[in-house]
Amino acid sequence: TGSNLKSNHSDECTTVQPPQENQTSSIPSPTTLPVSALKQPGVEVPAIGKS
């Protein structure tokens, strides 16, 4: 279970970390929030919850 937990955490961390750098790039994860990133790059976490 340790490996599984780590994998899951990595996936979540990877999706939550990129957003911060996406603010300037907005290209690394355009599929995660193409419109949200363009409208509000800093509001990526809420955008996913609304989805």
Q: What is the pLDDT of residue 7?
A: 55
Residue with tokens 């599929």: 31
pLDDT of residue 24: 52
Q: Which helix (H) or strand (E) holds 25?
A: helix 2-25
Q: Identify the CA nearest to 48 among candidates 21, 12, 23, 6.
A: 12
Q: What is the pLDDT of residue 31?
A: 53
What CA–CA distance (Å, rounded) separates 34 from 3?
A: 31
pLDDT at 4: 58
